[in-house]
Structure 1
Amino acid sequence: MSTAPSPRMPHRLIGACCLLILLALAPPGQAQPPVLAQHGHWLRFGVLPLQSPTKLADMFIPLAEYLQRSLHRPVQFVTAPSFSVFMQRVMHHDYDIVYLNPLLFTQAKRAGYTAVVKVLGEPFTGILVVRKDSPLHGIDPAQWRRGLVIGFPDPRAYAATVMTRSYLRTHGVDLERCCKVRYFGSQDSVLMALNSGLVNVAGTWWPSLRSMPRAVRGNLRVIAETPPQPQMPIAVLDTLPSKLRETIAASLLALHEHPHDDDILRHLGFPQGFIRTSDAEYRQVK
């Protein structure tokens, strides 16, 4: 069997996928290969595993490369096999920079991270999605009868799970009574499960729905959207030098000003880039 890389996969993604396998096997506190874990030289950019590792690599490696050029030091993109492992690594300070959801940031704050920027653009909301042929329209408790299967990415996915579950509860839908709840590990997986008929409803968010292949998107429709919460933040470890923390923030804020870097924002799916934020914006998140 040939082990040559596929010519269709960019070399940086091949390397990223190999690195992600290595990191997935490493225990918390040892998430990086020892040669890279030299604090003050490499910066480790940890990204919450919202999507598949390959999709995350395609999204965030261009941003890591931009930061590397801007900061004049190596920046390593890393993720984790699950939300829980990611947060264990956050608690062990395995990442210098983190991109995570508002709810998990409140935990990261207690572990010694400070929010510096957040995604600029559309509101941060959760959505409930069904197939086009579904009898469900909106959130009418009378339609949510016993036997429905609802899928979520992960119990700690804030928009897709926490916010949509709360939204359903406030609209009179008791999931424990009417539905079987299943978790699929990532946003992509739950949407593919919905498209394949494994679940009747999926909790997710707009960026993941937009990232689906056109044929999948065309087979799905949104039946509800939650009220907004503060957008996804990027936070930095408090033990980094203050000048470096500010340079990281300034570099992220300046990203949309560089026409030749538009491709980076396109990969991320954040066409407007980032805006300044602070820890205070996330105090009411729960």
Structure 2
Amino acid sequence: MDTILDSDGRPAATGAPGTADRPPEPPTVEQAVRVRRDGYARLGAADLGVDLEAMADDFARLAGAYDDLPPDPYAKETNRFRRYSHAVYLPWTGELSYIPGAPDDEFGTVTEYWQDEHNPEYPRVRRRLPDIPTALHGNRLLDALIRADLEHALWLEGLHRVPVYVGIHLIALGVRDRDQVAVSSPNCLHQDGGSPATFTFAHLVGRRNIEGGENVIATPESAGRQPDALPPEAVHDRFVLSDPLDGYGVHDCRVSHYVGPVRLGDDGPEGRRDILIVGVAPYTPGL
């Protein structure tokens, strides 16, 4: 059997994190191993150990939160809508706790979102984004998804002995006529940056009456470029998320990722792509 290496080339820790309240272990071991081995993996509900039928009410409440997402306050012309919040996970207890946002006159509370220089559209800009609704803090499905994502990341030894930062991002790309195009940010292959122990997970919440929205996973050197400008050997995977909770996970330092623009389909006057993004990274000491 091949030895699985971490991002520094050392044998990866494969044991359980040893918490008192462990996240559920995903049943599809193959997919969990792929995140370690390849730096990315396609992940669906079954791979995450999530019973969507049993959590139908929680899914409906999560999906409903996308109905009133405000436009991206930094790019209202992009037809991108979003909310964002922080949480902290303690690996040694299994506790997940949301961090209160800062008061804001327009949105109630906001949370700072910073990508250093990894987002060429907002280099070193500390964006303040509207928080996710507090009603979602107790949502069983959202909690299960976050904990399943953590299970896919906690094989990395560096995440076992520090508080783990979790970024929860609700993003919709919505279009209302044939002339509109909705784009993600940045609109190119990119990495989220911050730490060799950073992971990003995406879970489709809804897709209706749209064209486009293709996901691409490529080499880290491809960051900043468009997928069609790459040589074939630089592209690891191309796919379109279509079913509820279809998604993927990436070990950020080992790949780059991208989602293409969205345009209106043929079945009505409105189209949307609703996605949940969960970012995982270690908190760094401040003293």
- TM norm structure 1: 0.25
Instruction: Judging by fraction of residues, say which structure has more strand.
Output: 2
Instruction: Judging by fraction of residues, say which structure has more helix.
Output: 1
Q: Which has the larger radius of gyration?
A: 1
